[in-house]
Amino acid sequence: MHVVVDGPTDGPLVVLGPSLGTDLGLWDPQAAALADEHRVLRFDLPGHGRSPVPRGPVTIASIAADVLAAVDELGVHRFSYAGVSIGGAIGLQLALDAPDRVDRLVVLASAARFPDPASWPLRAARVRSQGTEFLVDSRTGAWFTPEFAARHPGQAERLLAMLRATTPEGYAACAEAVGLHDVRDELPSITAASLVIAGGEDPVTPVPLVREIATGIDHARFEVVSGVSHLLNAELPEVVSGLLRKHLGP
């Protein structure tokens, strides 16, 4: 797993997990905002960015185990975590698998179970045969609002370039992991102080679906960021950075 670490070595560690089809650069604005007080670890999903192509099946649990191994290499036991979409699912898994290690949790635009699980292996098969280019047009509507694309065409294209650069096997393997993800019954077991954030215009993980996570976790706080789609931390970076700083603390 390819990781990048920023911030003071003695700062509290926060790990940032990306969305399917993106790389760790998705978190650039938040890494910059947090790295004054926090040690910030970002990672690339299997077969995304600079992480190697997976040689076998991938699960949310296997990615979570890789994250724990990366944290172990820093010599850190307890850390906080924030993740978007599949990155959020990884955070839920970490909080379940290593409750003594996850201090604060932020789940953005994610789900305890993603919609239409049967569609994910079909998408994976098509990506393996055709690559990721056919996904670009649909991601333009799902990842960010048309208004964002019109105002910030360079930033929108940078996000889509991440998708184009993702290896077919990396995307497909992670898509299959998304299809298998289901922690609905386990949410009450999560003890990490949790903040759950939805994008008000997100068609991928609509507000009611994201709210289910907050409802299932005891004392979780729920926020809706209006006027943004799935990659809300890219659309309104200052707002999301502010929410993270408030929840994560010094």
Q: What CATH number does the domain containing 125 carry?
A: 3.40.50.1820
Place 170 in a pLDDT band, splitting at 50, 70 and 90. Answer: very high
pLDDT 10s digits, 42-93: 999 999 999 999 999 999 999 999 999 999 999 999 999 999 999 999 999 9
Strands across the sheet containing 39-43? 3-6, 39-43, 13-17, 79-84, 102-108, 193-199, 221-225
Let me know if 170 is exposed, middle or buried by CB neighbors in 10 A (0-12, 13-18, 19+): buried
Tell me how far apart the alpha carbons of residues 14 and 245 are, in angstroms, rounded to a whole number.
Answer: 11
pLDDT cut 90: percent of the chain above it:
97
The answer on pLDDT for 34 being more than 80 is: yes
Q: How many domains does the chain have?
A: 1
Neighbours of 124 (CB within 10 A): 21
Tell me how far apart the alpha carbons of residues 214 and 211 are, in angstroms, rounded to a whole number.
Answer: 5
pLDDT 10s digits, 126-166: 999 999 999 998 888 799 999 999 999 999 999 999 999 99
Report which residue type is found at 114. Answer: F
Ordered alpha helix ranges (H), the chain: 28-34, 60-73, 86-97, 119-130, 136-143, 146-151, 153-165, 168-180, 207-216, 232-235, 237-248
Domain encompassing residue 108 = 3-248
pTM exceeds 0.75, yes or no? yes
Decide if 84 contacts 18 (C-beta within 8 A): yes
Which is nearest to 139 in space by CA: 51, 16, 19, 240? Answer: 19
Q: Is 43 helix (H, G, I), strand (E, B) or coil?
A: strand
